[in-house]
């Protein structure tokens, strides 16, 4: 029993005499380390913390269709200095010369002595990541890294050059929103965002050490990366620099002149669907900027530009012919107690007109009555309005285009008699003139582009290929959405209507037509922010638009212009958007030779006497050479050196031109070379004034030649 007690005493002694006090001390030390001195030890731990860090890859370029740079990354270097990297011997040996170089080329505010003191203070302070200069070029970086001490490298000389890049747009704000951006804490936008996986490349990895935990500054452990980054590829867009510039300039002038809220314009290639220009301008406190891609993201009520779809449906279903008659009731009618009026100045004078005329003058009443009269009634097979909606879907007006850049809004076409869509008795007639439905400008342009293309609907696209180091690695071909959205006969009639809008005297775009080329299109003026109440219809503004294509004979480009809420200079599509279309088309026509008919494309015209170079005088051999080169028939072989041309029917006759012996000849009509040759052979001194052929001479013809000075006046 005594032995047992003795053992217990010893156990108690060990427990309370040694273990418990030790535990208390350990707990105390742990608390001090964790809470009292915690930050100090954490900082010390991070001072030598190693981690594999991401090394960003070089970002690819965005190119225009001709290879011009739309967006590129310009590399630059931030230069730092680690004062503790070098040994005392190397530091002291190079200190004076390094200070002199830094004071001369880098540290503008320091003398050589001040730079020396600056370096000594840095080494004493122990800061291992001191900024020397930011955003220097590669050439400047190469120059500075050859300074004394720095030339020993990062780990012996302390010179640190961190590569970075800055995204630049050589053409400034050109196509800014379509090109887009990729930024931290922001949704990717435009081509930069959509093709970030191609442009961004693949990042690498490097083992780095944390040299300043508070500033989150890291330095590579060595000069070799663990995984090399893979540079991004380039994307080639369909954008044409010239057309983009033309479009943006025309749109800017218009939105500024009309004091609009925003505007957009798009130019598309008819055959392929390639977007050649896309401009978006919105009003901001700092002026006009591409703040939003209205062409792609703004689904709006299109107004009268939608009437082409309504007429196409009527023609495709065989309900009307262009020369049928329709009563427009002097431009005012009622649908279920809701009044509809025309904006055309011709409507109040007209009661019954042809279907084609209703479209040409853009009669709301005429188009709405045709749609209501033919689709507003039920048949044995189905409800009438459903037939109209089905036809619009066959035109693909209910589908987004699928363009590469994000943010495309879905079109909104109501379903017949849908309570969810708030279908009412007035929906069908108002939908027929572009209300109670929504569509983006690009979607509407795609529809008109298919009309220009004979019924073939092409998917609009912005990127044609992906390149890597100048070599094409992927090509994006034009995509056909629908081989034919309507019959060839219907498309031909709609084309005829769109031409009449521009070319007929009463057409809403008549004043826009050009005598150099032909174009077709449709104007539109939609009311915005409107509401119906007991006091009538309240309107919050207008949206002017024009959409069409050119040249008519062989359409190459289609274009849409939409300007929202113009506050001055007009509200109608023909006054606000139409002139922008015309300016864009004019400038494209001038700058693109493919739009011009070659002068030798037709039969060679017969030459007539008044168009021939008659009564020209010159050397006989020279005249024969020129006429032979031009392929102009000519006859006669005068014996004199000079000859005169006389037109005769569709050819020329060469006749003699004699010169009197010893007398000053008449050289009027001669070229300078021939005139000088003739006069100097007679011993005359010739003085010349002007350019061209001889129009006057200072000495009268017939005067005896005695070596006089003669002045020839050319014109």
3-state secondary structure 441-497: HHHHHHHHHHHHCCCCEECCECEEEEEECCEEEEECCCCEEECCCCCHHHHHHHHHH
Q: Per residue in 3-33, pLDDT tens?
A: 666 666 666 666 666 666 767 777 777 776 6
Q: Per residue in 467-480, pLDDT tens?
A: 998 899 999 999 99
- Alpha carbon distances (Å) from 6 to 3, 15, 18, 185, 671: 5, 14, 17, 72, 142
The DSSP code for 34 is: I
The dihedral over CA atoms of 666, 669, 675, 679, expressed in degrees to the nearest 10, equals: 10
Is residue 47 over pLDDT 70? Answer: no
Which neighbouring-strand residues pair with 288? 283
Is residue 257 over pLDDT 60? Answer: yes
Distance CA 58, CA 233 (A): 9
- pLDDT range class, residue 183, cuts 50, 70, 90: confident
Task: Choose the most confident range, by mean pLDDT, from 175-179, 181-185, 394-398, 640-644.
Answer: 394-398
Give 89's contacts (C-beta < 8 A, 6+ positions apart).
none
Mean pLDDT score, 213-228 = 62
CATH topology classification for 52-232: Penicillin-binding protein 2a (Domain 2) (3.90.1310)
At residue 548, φ and ψ (nearest 5 deg) are -170, -165
Give 169's contacts (C-beta < 8 A, 6+ positions apart).
70, 71, 176, 179
- pLDDT range class, residue 505, cuts 50, 70, 90: very high
Rg (CA), the chain: 41
Q: Which residue has the higher pLDDT, 256 or 646?
A: 256
Is residue 612 over pLDDT 70? Answer: no
Strands 234-237 and 62-63: parallel
The 10 Å CB-count burial string (b at 16+, else e) for 116-125 is bebbeebbee
The H or E element containing residue 10 is helix 2-14
Q: For residue 705, how many C-alpha atoms fall within 13 Å in the half-sphere facing its CB? A: 19
pLDDT for res 178: 85
The number of residues in the chain equals 715
- Taking 3-state DSSP, the helix, strand and coil percentages for the chain, each rounded to the nearest 5, stand at 35, 25, 40
CA angle, residues 109, 111, 113, in degrees to nearest 5: 135
Task: Choose the most confident range, by mean pLDDT, from 64-78, 210-224, 551-565, 693-707.
Answer: 551-565
pLDDT for res 539: 83
Class in CATH terms, 244-591:
alpha beta
Cβ-in-10-Å burial (0-12, 13-18, 19+) of 592 comes to middle
What sign has the CA pseudo-torsion 122, 126, 130, 132? positive
Mean pLDDT score, 352-365 = 96
Report the range of poorest mean pLDDT among 198-207, 436-445, 668-677.
198-207
Distance CA 115, CA 110 (A): 6
Q: Per residue in 554-608, pLDDT tens?
A: 999 999 999 999 999 999 999 999 999 999 999 999 998 878 777 666 666 665 6
Report the range of poorest mean pLDDT among 45-59, 590-604, 620-634.
45-59
Is residue 36 over pLDDT 80? Answer: no
Distance CA 478, CA 484 (A): 16
Structure tokens at 472: 């094409």
Q: Which residue has the higher pLDDT, 51 or 335?
A: 335
The DSSP code for 604 is: P
At residue 383, φ and ψ (nearest 5 deg) are -75, 140
């Amino acid at each position: 029993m005594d032995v047992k007690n003795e053992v217990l005493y010893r156990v108690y002694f060990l427990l309370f005499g040694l273990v418990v006090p030790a535990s208390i001390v350990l707990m105390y030390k742990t608390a001090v380390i964790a809470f009292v001195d915690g930050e100090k030890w954490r900082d010390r731990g991070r001072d030598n913390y190693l981690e594999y860090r991401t090394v960003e890859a070089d970002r690819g370029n965005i190119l225009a269709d001709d290879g011009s740079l739309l967006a590129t990354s310009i590399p630059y270097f931030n230069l730092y200095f680690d004062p503790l990297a070098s040994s005392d011997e190397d530091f002291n040996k190079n200190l004076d010369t390094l200070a002199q170089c830094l004071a001369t080329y880098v540290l503008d505010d320091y003398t050589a002595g001040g730079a020396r003191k600056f370096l000594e203070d840095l080494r004493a302070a122990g800061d291992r990541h001191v900024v020397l200069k930011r955003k220097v070029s590669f050439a400047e970086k190469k120059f500075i890294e050859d300074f004394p001490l720095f030339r020993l490298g990062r780990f012996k000389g302390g010179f640190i050059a961190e590569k970075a890049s800055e995204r630049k747009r050589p053409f400034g704000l050109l196509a800014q929103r379509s090109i887009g951006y990729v930024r931290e804490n922001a949704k990717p936008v435009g081509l930069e965002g959509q093709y970030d996986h191609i442009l961004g490349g693949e990042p690498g990895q490097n083992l780095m050490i944390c040299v300043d935990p508070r500033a989150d500054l890291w330095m590579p452990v060595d000069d070799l990366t663990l995984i090399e980054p893979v540079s991004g590829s380039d994307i080639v867009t369909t954008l044409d620099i010239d057309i983009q510039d033309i479009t943006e300039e025309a749109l800017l002038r218009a939105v500024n002149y009309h004091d609009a809220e925003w505007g957009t314009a798009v130019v598309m290639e008819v055959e392929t669907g390639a977007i050649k220009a896309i401009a978006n301008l919105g009003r901001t406190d700092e002026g006009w900027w591409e703040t939003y891609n209205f062409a792609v993201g703004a689904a709006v009520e299109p107004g009268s530009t939608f009437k082409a779809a309504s007429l196409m449906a009527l023609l495709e279903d065989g309900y009307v012919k262009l020369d049928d008659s329709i009563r427009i009731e002097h431009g005012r009618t009622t649908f279920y107690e809701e009044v509809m009026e025309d904006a055309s100045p011709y409507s109040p004078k007209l009661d019954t007109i042809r279907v084609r005329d209703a479209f040409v003058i853009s009669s709301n009443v005429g188009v709405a009555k045709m749609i209501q009269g033919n689709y507003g009634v039920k048949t044995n097979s189905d409800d009438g309005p459903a037939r109209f909606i089905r036809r619009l879907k066959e035109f693909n007006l209910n589908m987004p285009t699928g363009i590469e850049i994000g943010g495309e809004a879905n079109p909104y076409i109501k379903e017949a008699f849908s309570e969810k869509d708030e279908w009412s008795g007035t929906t069908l007639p108002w939908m027929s003139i572009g209300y109670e439905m929504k569509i983006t400008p690009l979607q509407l342009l795609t529809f008109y582009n298919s009309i220009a293309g004979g019924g073939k609907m092409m998917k609009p696209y912005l990127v044609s290929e992906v390149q890597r180091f100048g070599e094409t690695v992927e090509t994006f071909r034009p995509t056909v959405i629908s081989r034919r959205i309507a019959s060839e006969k219907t498309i031909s009639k709609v084309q005829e209507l769109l031409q009449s809008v521009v070319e007929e005297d009463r057409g809403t775009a008549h004043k826009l037509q050009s005598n150099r080329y032909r174009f077709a299109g449709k104007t539109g003026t939609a009311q915005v922010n409107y509401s119906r109440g007991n006091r009538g219809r309240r309107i919050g503004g207008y949206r002017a638009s024009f959409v069409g294509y050119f040249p008519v004979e062989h359409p190459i480009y289609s274009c849409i212009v939409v300007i929202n809420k113009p506050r001055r200079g007009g509200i109608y599509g023909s006054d606000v958007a139409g002139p922008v279309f015309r300016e864009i088309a004019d400038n494209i026509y001038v700058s693109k030779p493919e739009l011009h008919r070659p002068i030798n494309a037709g039969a060679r015209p017969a030459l007539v006497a008044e168009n021939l170079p008659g009564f020209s005088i010159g050397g006989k051999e020279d005249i024969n050479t020129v006429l032979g080169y031009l392929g102009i028939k000519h006859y006669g072989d005068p014996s004199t050196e000079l000859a005169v041309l006389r037109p005769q029917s569709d050819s020329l006759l060469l006749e003699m031109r004699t010169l009197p012996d010893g007398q000053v000849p008449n050289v009027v009509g001669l070229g300078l070379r021939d005139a000088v040759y003739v006069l100097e052979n007679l011993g005359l001194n010739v003085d010349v004034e002007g350019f061209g052929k001889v129009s006057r001479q200072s000495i009268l013809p017939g005067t005896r030649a005695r070596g006089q000075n003669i002045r020839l006046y050319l014109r």
